Amino acid sequence: MAAPVVHIVLADLAHRRFFPDLSRREFLIGTSFPDIRYLVGLPRAVTHFPDVLVRGLFGEGAFMAGAKFHSVVDNEREKYMIAHGAYAHVPASRYASQSLKFFEDEVLYGRFDGWQGVIDDFATIPYEASPFPVEKKGMDLWYASLRRYFAVPPTAETQKAFIVSTDLTEAAADEIRRVIDGMRDKEELRQIILSCYDGFEALLAAGA
């Protein structure tokens, strides 16, 4: 699993490499869609796809290719983090997984310089492209929340606001921020995150 910034950063890499003929706007909107489940209360199985590979996305429309690529990122990123011992650098917490994801957002936000374009694009949602059981109102709330989150590099305030807009409490958000604070001096962890980003295209190509 990954958090919102990482999904955009990695989807942008993949779009340029594998899906240049698809609408980039709709691909990124699609790849940010599946975690709407936290906001609207859908089971994960409704919006996520097990065992999907890049080659299985060719022929899909841009929105659905992006939505399914979300699961590719979740699966490949988690395997990489486990294989490279990332969780050994995360302070013990029931929210260790969520904390690592949001710390990755902090580390990788600056690796992408198109945030204003994404914010602008997320103001116009292709509702008709989505086959998921989510009403327009829910989609509008979700993408408005993402637009606010993407507006500035992640901070304690923006992350807390985003976390509590989903399905977690303020206490959980505060715990996640405490765990993130305990990761900032872990240079080895930072390098694991950066190496995952730097090698992600090759990782996808190898498993495509």
Residue found by looking up tokens 């594998």 in the block: 18
CA distance 26 to 127: 10
Helix 4-18 and helix 96-108: axis angle, to 10°? Answer: 60
Contact 48, 28 (CB under 8 A): no
CA-closest candidate to residue 31, choices 51, 52, 16, 12: 12
In this predicted structure, what is the pLDDT of residue 87? 97
The answer for residues whose C-beta is within 8 angstroms of residue 20's C-beta and 6 or more apart is: none
pTM, two decimals, is 0.95
| Total domain count, the chain | 1
Longest CA–CA span in the chain (Å) reads 45
Secondary element (H or E) of residue 48: none
Q: Report pLDDT for 167.
A: 81
pLDDT in tens, 195-204: 999 999 998 8
- Supply the range of the domain harboring residue 13: 4-207
Per-residue confidence in pLDDT tens, the chain, 208 aa? 689 999 999 999 999 999 999 999 999 999 999 999 999 999 999 999 998 999 999 999 999 999 999 999 999 999 999 999 999 999 999 999 999 999 999 999 999 999 999 999 999 999 999 999 999 999 999 999 999 999 999 999 999 999 998 888 999 999 999 999 999 999 999 999 999 999 999 988 876 6
Model pLDDT, residue 207: 65
Predicted confidence (pLDDT) per residue in 44-93, tens digit:
999 999 989 999 999 999 999 999 999 999 999 999 999 999 999 999 99
pLDDT of residue 94: 95
